[in-house]
Amino acid sequence: MIVNEMFYSVQGEGRLAGVPSVFVRLAGCPLRCAWCDSKYAWSETAGRKYSAGEIREFIGSHDGRFLVVTGGEPMVRPGLKAWLDGVAGADEHVTIETSGIEFVDGLRCDLMSISPKLANSAPPNGPARAEHEARRFDIAALKQLIAAYDYQLKFVVDSETDLGEINDCLAKLPNVDRDRVYLMPQAQRRQDYLEKMAMVAELCKREGFRLSSRLQVLMWDGQRGK
C-alpha cells in the first residue's frame, strides 16, 4: 500500500471534529475534484510503501486511539481490508474518509465518513471530467456502505443551489437518518470558509441537517499535513 503522508492532528470535520487523531493518507484517487485539497495524493505512486510495523510505530508514537484513513480514495485501493487489519489496533477507533464510490465489505471501520461528490466538484472539460462524472455518484455503493457501517454523510456546499442535488441524493437513500447528514462549505482557504459558513448554516437550519466545521481550513488555512 502506497502511503502519501502520515501526521498527527485533530479531526476537522463531522461528528468527531476536535478529536486528536492520527491520519494516514493513501495515494491514488480517480475523481480529480476541481476543489480537492489533496491533489498531491491523486497519483497512485504519490508516496512510498510503508510496512505495517512502520505505520504501527507512527501511530504508537502519538495518542493513537483515533485513526483516520484518508486519501486520495482509500476504498479503491486493492488489498485495503488486509492492510487495515494489519495496521489498526484492536482498541483503536477507525474512521475511513471516502467519496462513497466503491463498497468494500468487512472492513475494520468504526465510522464510514462518506462525502458524496456533487456537480460542483467537476473538473474542467477533458478526460478527467468524463471519468469524474462517470464515477462520482454510485447509488448502489452508497446504499451498501450505509447498510454495512456506522456512517456519516458530508456534503460540500458551494452555493445554495447545491441543496436540490443533496435532497435528490437523499431521496434515493430513504433510510438515511438526517442527523447523520452534515453540510460544510466548499473552501480551501480560511477566508472562503468564513464567507460561506453563514449561508451553509442557514441551509442546515432550514433543512434539519448538521453544520460541519472544517477546523483544518479555519486553523491552518490550506497548509499541508496539518
Contact flag: residue 13 with ligand SF4 (CB under 6 A): no
Rounded Cα distance between 34 and 128, Å, is 10
| Residue with smaller CB distance to ligand SF4, 89 or 144 | 144
Select from 24, 26, 31, 200 the one that contacts ligand SF4 (CB under 6 A). Answer: 31
Q: Which is nearer to ligand SF4, 31 or 107 (CB)?
A: 31
The dihedral built from the CA positions of residue 218, 65, 62 and 83, taken in this order, carries a sign that is negative
The smaller minimum CB distance to ligand SF4, of residues 31 and 87, is found at 31
Q: Judge contact between 211 and 182, C-beta under 8 A.
A: yes
Distance of alpha carbon 218 from alpha carbon 74, whole angstroms: 25
User: By rule CB under 6 A, what string of x and - marks binding of each residue 50-79 to ligand SF4?
Assistant: ---------------------xxx------
* Binding of ligand SF4 by 100 (CB under 6 A): no
Contacts of 118 (CB under 8 A, 6+ apart): 155, 156, 158, 162, 165, 166, 169
- Determine if 181 is a binding residue for ligand SF4 (CB under 6 A): no
Which residues are CB-contacts of 125 (< 8 A; sequence separation ≥ 6)?
A: none
Among 25, 32, 77, 154, binds ligand SF4 (CB under 6 A): 32
Q: Which residues bind ligand SF4 (CB under 6 A)?
A: 29, 31-33, 36, 38, 71-73, 99
